[in-house]
Chains A and B, each alone.
Chain A
Amino acid sequence: MSIAQLTRGRVPAPARRAAGRDPLVVAAAVVASAIAVIAVAGPLLAPYDPNQLYVGEVSAPVSLDHPFGTDDLGRDVLSRVLAGAGASVVGPVIVVLLSTLVGTAVAVLSAWFGGVVDGVSTRLVEVIFAIPGLVLAVLAVAMFGKGLVAPVVALSIAYMPIVSRLVRAGARTELGKPYIAALRIQGVGSPTICVRHLLPALLPSILAQATLGFGYAMLDLAAISFLGLGAQPPASDWGVMIAGGQPALLNGAPEQSMFPALLVVVTVLSVNILGARVTSWAEGADR
């Protein structure tokens, strides 16, 4: 027996236990779930009305009444951050869902059929790949007007090729394995092979890519809102808030930009740490 075979069998401990040993992963899981909770229940948790002007002094620093301070219109920053969580998190989630669904479907079909189908779809995907996501999003805003819908759809299209290329490569490897040939000889139908055997095999890498994509989408959407093309004031999207806090930042009141920026960083980081864990777990479990 080879050493690789010996050690391999023991590595894939259940993901829970593996995560339990790594405090970083536990912290990331806690943060990610906390953010999920505020994304859903944020407005209810907010101590003040997020759009109420002058609930405190203008551009007040951190205090007991206003833990994150207030902005240049006297609105409570904590309330605005909580209320904006939904829009800031849901946008990237939709981008990830759309790009993953479409990208995976294109990739699996192209790997399965091969030949002309594969050639045409791969070239098309590469053409989309050549357009930077932000440029496409700005273009979409120019064509369809400001707001979150156009950038979210544009980013979904821009991210699709990344998913599709990754999944196609994985699918081709997997389809070359003897167990797929065995299923075909058994007479198992093509849709069944794709859905019941191929997709579960690809799921780990799809999940890993999705968590990475979430991070990028969140940063890109924040950047779009920062440019004033995404969510529109007075909505309290985190990107809008970072942009809105700019003058205060220069006047020595960093809280207005800092707290939403910090949340973006913390969210992206925790999701990426979880994603890395999912990947290594899947690599071990997938034998």
Chain B
Amino acid sequence: MTRTVLELEQLAVATPAGRTLVHDCTLAVRAGETLGLVGESGSGKTLSTRAVAGLLPSGFRSTGAIRIDGHDIASLPARDLRDLRARRLGMVFQTPRAHLNPLRSIGDFMTEALVAVAGEKPDAAHRRAVDLLAEVGIRDPERVMRQRPGELSGGLLQRVMIAATLSMDPPILLADEITTALDVTTQEEVMAVIADLRRHRDLAMLFITHDLALAGAVCDRVAVMKDGRTVETLAAATMREDAADPYTRRLLSAALPPERDDAAAPRREDPVLVVEGLRKTFQVRSPRGRRERFVAVDDVSFSLAAGGALGIVGESGSGKSTTARIICGLETADAGTVAVKGEPWTRPARGAPARRARAGVVQMVFQDPYQSLDPRQTVRACLAEAVAVHRRLAPRREIDRRVAELLAAVRLDADLADARPRALSGGQRQRVAIARALAAEPEILVLDEAVSALDVTTQVEILTLLDTIRRETGVALLMISHDLTTVRRLCDRVAVMHSGRILEQGTIAEVLDAPSADYTRALLDSIPRPGWTPRRRLPPRTSHQPAAAQAAARIVTTGGHP
């Protein structure tokens, strides 16, 4: 058995007010090993990791033992501890963009620590930075060194962050949800980089994620955390068989590819929504200050059957959200038509009565339940307002009754009716958002990444709820998502979008089980599963190219106006 490089024993973390958030986090990372730390948001994963790195918010106290390379950090003088952490630990976070100064080049960022901390000469630091960027799979490091964060995609930035962390040669890497903010395909690229590093560097890693499937695919062992306690630690390869704790089993079942029975879904063949030749461009500025048009949506056509469920899948920037916004009247299309129940809906409704009429047919649930609810409104006020739009003269009692019905429809406790969004969890908020959309008794429900911001277990709950609602009310679902697993679970048809165009569409079986487009295959391959090996791909995959180059392909210059 190899040496243990990082050990947490009964680590507890308490807030300044004395509330204990982490009760007992016990785990050990061996040299060269990757240990996954898995749990829902609020389970204390991030706090525990921050305690190790000495990054707890001010006033937070930790008790229990943290041993780095066998040194108990409580027994070390502050100076030595700082030194130990600087040399032995590297940390990568969820949001690389937030950690980079947008005004400084990647080169400045990469060489700063090497010059200031490691005392290297500028040109030596530059060479080393280029080597590090190459090591994390960046193909034109000299060019990237000259670019600023705004010009790079999220996946590239995350690789820059990993390269910067590696510059100090840490034997232990703390990776906190490093791929959560990325598309599946980009996630695969980053994980491939991590896998390479582990092969070449003998790196021990604590890999924090809420995604058990991902942890199972990339880790040696997985520690499961719930409500501030590590409940069990399992070997990743056999975790499905070994899982003893009921919570782990619930997480595992949530991550399983869902089984569906298509027979029960009510479906009529007449389309409720027909989109033809939709095109939308946005005005942007070129680097030289010229006006150019960026093609966000390009000749998109599809139809949605009444009571059906269509998934539109693609990476961020593929134009899928813009398409949804045009259908909901939040944007105006440049060309093409939108028809709902045979009526032309291409132009947004003008005037209050027309808007109300459309609201009764199409409703939308947004991605971020933290921002799509008015923070000052209680759940009851929010739902009552949505109900009152369509029953303008209804007495108070009738509205109250309808609000109660809606709460029941989304399986939300009536006690929560007087809570404000701040007091609700992400899943509860999303239920409120769904209830609000259902208030109008719509015929089409547009779900714009409606479960992407949620934990895996919550995702399954919400997807099940949406499926039930669809069966009960016969509402047609248009689901915008970057996640093929959720689309497979909920939809009967799927369209794959890339760079503003639809590459292929058809039934779930046609597209996802026998894809014809290379891009669809790449999307499918990038979903973490047991025995998964993340691979690096070659172009024409767009996530591999710098964002600017990717965008250039969709720029049309309009006239010569400077």
Contact = CB atoms under 8 A, between A and B. Distances in A.
B169 interface: no
Contacts of B374: 179, 183, 197, 201
Interface residues of B, number: 43
Given A187-B390, A190-B352, A181 B21 contact: no
Interface in B7-50: 15, 17, 21, 41-42, 46-47, 50
A10 interface: yes
Interface string A2-17: 1100110110000000
A-B complex: 8 closest residue pairs judged by Cβ atoms: A187-B359, A187-B356, A178-B372, A1-B41, A178-B366, A178-B371, A187-B389, A179-B374
Contacts of B436: 182, 186
Where chain A touches its partner, the secondary structure class is helix
A178 B369 CA distance: 9
B359 A2 contact: no
A268 B359 CA distance: 50
Nearest to B376: A200
Contacts of A184: 329-330, 355
B267 to A, nearest CB: 25
A194 to B, nearest CB: 13
A123 interface: no
B146 interface: no
Contacts of B42: 1
Contact of A186 (B57, B94, B439): B439
B186 interface: no
Interface string A211-224: 00000000000000
Nearest to A5: B41
B433 interface: yes
Interface in B345-374: 352, 355-360, 362-364, 366-368, 371-374
Contacts of A182: 364, 366, 372-373, 433, 436
Interface of A: 1-3, 6-7, 9-10, 177-179, 181-190, 196-197, 200-201, 286-287
A77 B385 CA distance: 57
A2 B362 contact: no
B77 to A, nearest CB: 26
Interface in B436-467: 436-437, 439-440
13 contacts: A6-B47, A7-B57, A178-B372, A179-B373, A181-B372, A182-B436, A184-B355, A186-B385, A187-B355, A187-B357, A187-B389, A189-B355, A287-B422
B363 A186 contact: yes
Contact of B57 (A6, A190, A196, A287): A6
Nearest to B353: A187
A196 B355 CA distance: 18
B441 to A, nearest CB: 12
A188 B385 contact: yes
Interface string B87-105: 0000000100000000000
